[in-house]
Structure 1
Amino acid sequence: MRELDAKQITETVAQLCKEAAYYLPKDVYEGLKKGRETEKSPVGQAVLDQIIKNAEIARDEDRPYCQDTGMTIVFLEVGQDLHIVGGDLEEAVNDGIAKGYTEGYLRKSVVAEPIFNRVNTQNNTPGVIYTKIVPGDKLKITVEPKGFGSENKGGIKMLVPADGLEGVKKAVMEIILHASMNPCPPMVVGIGIGGTMDRAAVMSKIALTRSIDSHNPMPEYAKLEDDLLELINETGIGPQLGGTTSCLGVNIEWGPTHIAGLPVAVTICCHACRHAKRVL
């Protein structure tokens, strides 16, 4: 049984919060540059030039890539042979979020209650934490700050099996077209298919932590990713003001579901598709 001090978790989460806010992942940065090379609209080209320059300034000067530094989603993969000492796991993670957002001068956007008073917690906690027990004695931490300009445009469609593949495509495109230019495109789209309503939504968030130049290992889903990417880029939404680069990548995660169900969840991320990972 390996021991890991909760303080190390706190320090790691704090660092990951800052890294995710400052440094756009390489695959997303390269995707933006590739989009600039193929973008046909002069306005779209100008917008992409500004987005790329912003990413470079944020990286070089350790500044937030976007003013909305998001609600902090944290995925934990906890080895079953790992023992956390010196504190509670979730408390250690939330302490890390508070430390990272305070030290990094990141905007604190979380309110403690959603309807009646909406008082800001002043440290961006609590985070949204998902924990999975896995073999081994390591702890994998993935921090995914999620801005709400794009989060507000996601959606879930509870389809039935008879809707099939074409129904899935239709459901995804309805959500994308309803979002239009509002999620600050070029967007990255995470899709969860299967499970239950809540499980599909979580899978769509997990999908956003994958590299945009990766594919689902199952060929049929890999093809669906490519087909949806093509469909989205044909909409003309473009990089915020119209154009041909509407989407940088579509990632799909899927899981078993009920014989009567076909849940489809879509999480849209803006061009600030931020995430950072570490294994302790």
Structure 2
Amino acid sequence: MREVPIDKIIEVVRGLFIAANTQLGQDIVEALDRALEKEESPIGKEVLVELKENAEIARREEVPICQDTGLAVLFVDLGQDVHIVGGDFIEAVNEGVRRGYQEGYLRKSACHPFSRKNTGDNTPAIIHVNIVPGDRIKIAVVPKGGGSENMSRVAMLTPAVGAKGVIDYVVQTVEESGPNPCPPLVVGVGIGGSLEKATLMAKRSLLRPLDSQNPDPELAKMEEEILSRVNKLGIGPQGYGGRITALGVHIEMAPCHIASLPVAVNIQCHAARHKEAVI
């Protein structure tokens, strides 16, 4: 049994949220470079250049990539041979979020659903914990902005629609979102499971590097088809028109009930912020 003090968890979470909000991932930077080579619209090209410049300024000046620094979402793979000492794990994560958003001068966006009163420190965090073999803790943070999250959707499709129906639904969701989620996008898709499982898979899929290929050949082909169709919609960078509406499509799938076909689409903006660490 390996002991991990809560102070370590607090510090790692704090650092991850600051880094995710100020340092654009290298996979996103390279995807923007590839998008520049393909984009034919002069305005679209200009937008992509400005997005890269914005990311470089954020990295150099250690300021947020976007004013919307997101709700604090975390995916935690907790080793079953880890013993957390010195306090409560969930509170440690929330303290890390609290310090990260205060000390990193990040906007606090968490509020009461009806009164809209801000919680003041971007807590409580949304924490998804998965128990795994081993004695390590893998923490991935996803600061999720409101503009892209608002355009995300989930549906219980009729099983008879099959793969084509799923593809049509994902493309339709992106089309209806228009410029609202700040394209070019990363489109996370969860297929199967249950209502909540599909949405969780869709969000977790956003953690996959953009330069990676889906290990399932069927899903890899589906990702390519959806990306191709999405980029023919003409929405373009920031909605000004062009060939590049999305940088990538990531799909996760699980078995589902014989009477159901759950499909979730979790749209991510061009920043696609996420960072991870292993303790």
Confirm or deny a common fold (TM above 0.5): yes
Q: Which residue of 2 aligns with 1:189?
A: 187
Separation (CA, whole Å) in 2 of partners of 1:214 and 1:265: 21
Secondary structure of the structure 2 residue equivalent to 1:263: strand
Q: Which residue of 2 aligns with 1:96?
A: 96
Q: Which residue of 1 aligns with 2:129?
A: 131
| Count of aligned positions | 278
Q: What does the per-residue CA deviation read over 1:167-208, in whole Å, with 9 as the maximum and x for residues that have no partner?
A: 101111111111011110001100000111111001001000
Secondary structure of the structure 1 residue equivalent to 2:113: coil
For residue 110 of structure 1, report the CA deviation from its aligned partner: 0.4
Q: What does the per-residue CA deviation read over 1:8-34, in whole Å, with 9 as the maximum and x for residues that have no partner?
A: 100100000000001111001110111
**TM-score, length-scaled by structure 2:** 0.98
Q: CA RMSD in A?
A: 0.7
Q: Which residue of 2 aligns with 1:170?
A: 168
Q: Which residue of 2 aligns with 1:276?
A: 275
Q: Which residue of 1 aligns with 2:40?
A: 40
CA contact (8 A) 1:215 1:225 kept: no
Q: What does the per-residue CA deviation read over 1:229-277, in whole Å, with 9 as the maximum and x for residues that have no partner?
A: 1010010010011111110000001111111111110001110100000
Q: Which residue of 1 aligns with 2:8?
A: 8
Q: Percent identity?
A: 51
Q: Which residue of 2 aligns with 1:201?
A: 199
Correspondence list, 1:102-117, <5 A? 102-111=102-111, 113-115=112-114, 117=115
Separation (CA, whole Å) in 1 of partners of 2:160 and 2:212: 29
What runs of 5+ residues in structure 2 fail to find an aligned partner?
A: none
Separation (CA, whole Å) in 2 of partners of 1:146 and 1:23: 15
Q: Which residue of 2 aligns with 1:74?
A: 74
Q: What does the per-residue CA deviation read over 1:62-106, in whole Å, with 9 as the maximum and x for residues that have no partner?
A: 110011000011011000010000011111000000000000000
Paired residue type of 1:257: C
Q: Which residue of 1 aligns with 2:261?
A: 262
Separation (CA, whole Å) in 1 of partners of 2:158 and 2:272: 31
For residue 144 of structure 1, report the CA deviation from its aligned partner: 0.4
CA contact (8 A) 1:74 1:127 kept: yes
What runs of 5+ residues in structure 1 fail to find an aligned partner?
A: none
For residue 7 of structure 1, report the CA deviation from its aligned partner: 1.0
Separation (CA, whole Å) in 1 of partners of 2:215 and 2:65: 31
Dislocated runs of 4+, deviation >4 Å: none
Separation (CA, whole Å) in 2 of partners of 1:223 and 1:231: 13
Secondary structure of the structure 2 residue equivalent to 1:208: helix
**TM-score, length-scaled by structure 1:** 0.98
CA contact (8 A) 1:77 1:140 kept: yes
Matched, 1:147 2:134: no
For residue 160 of structure 1, report the CA deviation from its aligned partner: 2.1
Matched, 1:30 2:27: no
Separation (CA, whole Å) in 2 of partners of 1:226 and 1:214: 12
